Structure 1
Amino acid sequence: MSFKEEQKILELFETFEEKNIKLAFQLIKSLKLDYSILSEYLDLVQFLENHGRLNPNGNVEKVLLDLHKLKFLSIPYSKLKVLPTKIHFLVNLEDLNLEHNDFTIFPESICKLPNLKRLNLAFNNLNNFPKNTGNLSELESLDLSSNKLKQIPLCIYKLKQSTFLSIQNNPLSECQSMWIFNNFPNSQINHWHKS
Structure 2
Amino acid sequence: TSFAAVDGEDALQIMDKQQIDLIILDIMMPKMDGYELTKHLRSSDQKLPILMVSAKQLPEDKHRGFLAGTDDYMTKPLDIKEMVWRVKALLRRAQIANEHRLTIGEVVLDYDTLTVTRGDESHVLPKKEFYLLFKLLSYPNQIFTRLQLMDEIWGMESESSDTTVNVHINRLRRRFEHFPEFELVTVRGLGYKAVKKND
Tell me, yes or no, whether TM beats 0.5: no
Larger Rg, first or second structure (1 or 2) = 2
Instruction: Give the TM-score band, short-chain normalised.
Output: 0.3 to 0.5
Structure number with the higher strand fraction is: 2
